[in-house]
Structure 1
Amino acid sequence: MSKPMTVARYAKEHRGWFYGCLLLFALVAFFCLKAIYDMTVYGAKAPLYAFTAGMVGFGATALGSLPGFYFHKLSDKAEDWMLGSSAGMMLAAAIFSLLLPSIDASEKLFTSELAATLWVLFGVFLGVVFLLIINASMRIRPMKVPRSKLRAASGFLFLPSSFITFPKA
């Protein structure tokens, strides 16, 4: 039986992933400290608004993840409801925050709205093809982890969720 995965063991076995996450954390910390400096020294308002919006997003994400720490078994109906609402929010975010502004921006390149929309849809299609090529070329296989062995304290929170699958009971 293998030892449970801890954060320290995962960091030793996957140094590139660990140092990449550490670098990203350092960059985020640097920009947060710079924003705080700009707010206190220069009285800048934009970093305050960005920092406040970021903290609201962080709080909402943290609040949304709390049930995962306490409910280890969910009914299929509850899981479907949660996945469906998440998919709906992401779909709305993609349409209202990504696709519509990109169509507005591409209207400056083309004279008609139809051509701008087709250009954006072509870009989306290329992105899907690119992701399918990446998926087909990856040689990573999911780990089989029994639900009884999966605990938040064992460090699995730092594994990408796509690498963890659960065998059928």
Structure 2
Amino acid sequence: MTQPAQPSRLSPGDVAPDFTLPSDTGEQVTLSSLRGRKVVVYFYPAAMTPGCTTQACDFSESLGSLEAQGYTVLGVSPDAPEKLARFRERDGLSITLLSDADKQVMSAWGAFGEKKNYGKVVQGVIRSTLVLDEDGVVTLAQYNVRATGHVAKLRRDLALA
């Protein structure tokens, strides 16, 4: 049995590709404008689904401690900004949600491509989390993460537990 082909993934030491994406509030967010802050960028398949809701709520609940350590959290999905706004409202999310409708950013970051879903190889969003330093350099790259428990593990990895 062959493994699905993987998109080009980012690794620690890589400079993260810059992007400008619309947010759930309709504002444009440009990654390079966050230089000087550490950034957690996480990619998820779809707003308002059980796993993605769990992950977004976990990030929102941890936002205070992450911000206290200088981190900004950005959640990226292919959903339209209007759906992201409903997601934020419905679940009381405090993180910034970004729309990558054409999946170009996800592809550039290795978070879109072939993956296994219920035993079948499909094209889709690869649930991933990347952490950048103040200069936009990847310090941690995690692909195929689980929605449940991921934020707690990330906090441990970042020594924030």
User: Does TM-score exceed 0.5, indicating one fold?
Assistant: no
Please identify which structure carries the higher strand content.
Answer: 2
TM-score by length of 2: 0.22
- Higher helix content, 1 or 2: 1
Asked which structure has the greater RCO (Cα within 8 Å, sep 6+), the reply is: 2
TM-score (norm 1): 0.21
Structure having the higher Rg? 1
